Amino acid sequence: MQPNINAGVIVMQNRNKTKMKIQDPEARIKNFREVALGYSFEDAKEEAQRCLNCKNPQCISGCPVNVDIRGFIQEIKKGNFENALKIIKNTNGLPAICGRVCPQEKQCEERCVLGKIGEPVAIGRLERFLGDNFSIRTEPPSKKREEKIAIIGGGPSGITAAIDLRKEGFDVTIFEAFPKLGGVLLYGIPQFRLPKEIVETETNELKNLGIKIETNHIIGRSLPFEKIVEEYDAIYIGIGAGAPRFMGIPGTNLKNVFSSSEILTRVNLMKAYEFPEYGTPVFCKEKAAVIGAGNVTMDVARTLKRLGAEEVTIIYRRTENEVPARKEEFDHAREEGVNFLWLTQPIEYLPDETKTLKAIKCIKMELGEPDSSGRRKPIPIEGSEFILDFQMVVEAIGQKSNSVLKAFEGLQLNKWGYIDVNEETLQTNIENVFAGGDIVTGSATVILAMGAGKKAAESILAFLNEKKEVKTL
């Protein structure tokens, strides 16, 4: 069926997405439970009906891993939920996760033709619905290959590469630094946005597939990189860009100045929101500032609200039109009473007599000409400095590559400290080593990291096939 804009009835009835139940802001800032509660069976069917089943669906080309979106939605319409999930799982191993955290409004949903006249089909919510309510038991593959593959880093990128390579029958081992798989999904994105039980359910399937998992292994420290390169036929590095960046302004090492990573790691990985039942504490004061405006910034601000901060203020050097966070997170932060201070840049943290943060000295900014990225560059307004009292501040201005990477001997890095790869194949300067995800691109998104894992899996397969041919010749 062609998208028929003239079918006035459909347009009138379905201009908006089927609403998803969410926890009321008043209630939710007092708990860490999930904010968005998901679709019921009826909701999902209703929403699926809105899909026009376009002959030439644009949504699919908007998905970095090309999920057959039209295909799975048609199955939902028919009530064949398991088939629908199977279709997604052909290309995306983590639907319950992606349904929750992908920036759909900039990807699949942005291209949906319904978006031209109202809201697009709620593709993310439907994906989440399937991931949450159905499961397909994964079995070890029937194919068998002798070659051993090591995956360094158990984030979305490494997990995706591992699944695809295991399906080809390889002997695959994931080495992960933390006690559990998930990467940022586990220690970065908070419980109220992505419950850790879901990450665990989706990553547990890796074991059913027969993937070996070695947690508590930091390659380059607890196991030398050279050893892995020697012992495995191919290696994929997906270690993320986990090291926090600091602005480095005076006062950075005062007490009560934190990185977003510290707050989020304590809360998410170590469950500090349940201190003292869990042993790891986290710090929170009534009046808190968070610097930045990305997903991480929103996550920290909303976490602090839940930990009991009365006044949380996000300080950003551009305006609300440039906010890089996912729209839903920005909206939710607003609903939860987070304050925003636009066009403002901190320039110094001021201490009290005990070397504890007392106030932040800021400067006003204005937007100048667009820079190379197309965004208008913020420029400080001379003489506009002012001082605001805060009891704590968290910097959420982005991550960089971890200096453990220096111990990956022989591996070529670029000038920003990320791994240098061939963009087509994701191969590094070491023949049997491939890399992708945040450690190649810098902080990006879950789905892009997964896309890189897929691409690398294809390249590794081709690489090992070629080697095998040479051997048998």
Partner 1 sequence: MNEIIEINCIANLTYEIIFCNGEICENSKPGQFLILQKDEFSERVPLTIVNCEDGKVRVIIKVVGRSSLEISEMKVGDSFKNVVGPLGNHSEIRKYGNIVCIGGGVGAAPLLPVTRELKKTGNKIISILGAADANSLILDDEFEKISEKLYITTNDGSKGKKGFVTDILKELLKEKKVDIIWAIGPMIMMREVTKLSVENAVPCWVSLNPIMVDGTGMCGACRVHIKNEIKFACVDGPEFSGADVNWDELISRLSQYRDQEKSATEYKCRCDSNAK
Quote the least distance from Cβ 381 to ligand FAD, whole Å. Answer: 31
Q: Which residues are within 8 A (CB) of 415 and not within 5 positions of it... i.e. 6 or more apart?
A: none
Draw the binding track, 403-432, toward ligand FAD (x: CB under 6 A; -: no contact).
Answer: -x----------------------------
Of ligand FAD, partner 1, none, which one does residue 296 interact with (CB within 5 to 8 Å by kind)?
ligand FAD
Among candidate residues 57, 29, 101, 73, the one with its CA nearest the CA of residue 304 = 29
For residues 48 and 77, the answer to whether their CB atoms sit within 8 Å is: yes
Query: Which of these ranges, 71-79, 120-128, 198-206, 257-265, lies near partner 1 under the rule CB under 8 A?
Result: 257-265
Provide the H-helix boundaries in 154-215: 156-167, 184-187, 196-208
Choice from 203, 256, 391, 445 touching partner 1 (CB under 8 A): 256
Q: Which two tokens stand for residue 301?
A: 């601000």
270 binds ligand FAD (CB under 6 A): no
Q: Which residues pair with 257 in a beta bridge?
A: 393
Identify the burial level of 19 via C-beta atoms within 10 angstroms of its C-beta, where 0-12 means exposed, 13-18 middle and 19 or more buried: exposed
Q: How many residues are there in the chain?
A: 473
Near ligand FAD in 315-354, by CB under 6 A: 326
Number of residues counted as binding ligand FAD (CB under 6 A) = 41
Of partner 1, ligand FAD, none, which one does residue 259 interact with (CB within 5 to 8 Å by kind)?
partner 1
143 binds partner 1 (CB under 8 A): no
Near partner 1 in 222-251, by CB under 8 A: 222-224, 242-244, 246, 248
Choice from 438, 459, 461, 463 touching ligand FAD (CB under 6 A): 438
Eight-state DSSP code of residue 262: H
Choice from 402, 427, 428, 432 touching partner 1 (CB under 8 A): 402
219 binds ligand FAD (CB under 6 A): yes
What gap in Å lies between CA 95 and CA 350, rounded to an integer?
45
What gap in Å lies between CA 254 and CA 358, rounded to an integer?
10
Near partner 1 in 348-377, by CB under 8 A: 354-356
Query: Which of these ranges, 92-100, 277-285, 288-296, 443-451, lies near partner 1 under the rule CB under 8 A?
Result: 277-285
Query: Does residue 148 come out as left (phi exceeding 0), alpha (psi in the -120 to 50 range) or beta?
Result: beta
196 binds partner 1 (CB under 8 A): no
What gap in Å lies between CA 96 and CA 221, rounded to an integer?
33
* Minimum CB distance to partner 1 smaller for 182 or for 242: 242
Choice from 20, 60, 218, 243 touching ligand FAD (CB under 6 A): 218
445 binds ligand FAD (CB under 6 A): yes
Cβ atoms within 10 Å, residue 265: 20
Choice from 47, 299, 336, 395 touching ligand FAD (CB under 6 A): 299
For residues 376 and 368, the answer to whether their CB atoms sit within 8 Å is: yes
Q: Which residues are within 8 A (CB) of 106 and not within 5 positions of it... i.e. 6 or more apart?
A: none
What gap in Å lies between CA 19 and CA 42, rounded to an integer?
11
What gap in Å lies between CA 123 and CA 88, rounded to an integer?
12
119 binds partner 1 (CB under 8 A): no
What gap in Å lies between CA 313 and CA 289, rounded to an integer?
5
The site for ligand FAD (CB under 6 A) is made up of 101-103, 152-158, 175-178, 183-184, 188-189, 217-220, 238-240, 242, 264, 295-296, 299, 326, 402, 404, 437-438, 443-447, 449
The site for partner 1 (CB under 8 A) is made up of 177-179, 187, 215-218, 221-224, 242-244, 246, 248, 252-256, 258-259, 261-262, 265-266, 269-270, 275-281, 283, 354-356, 402-404
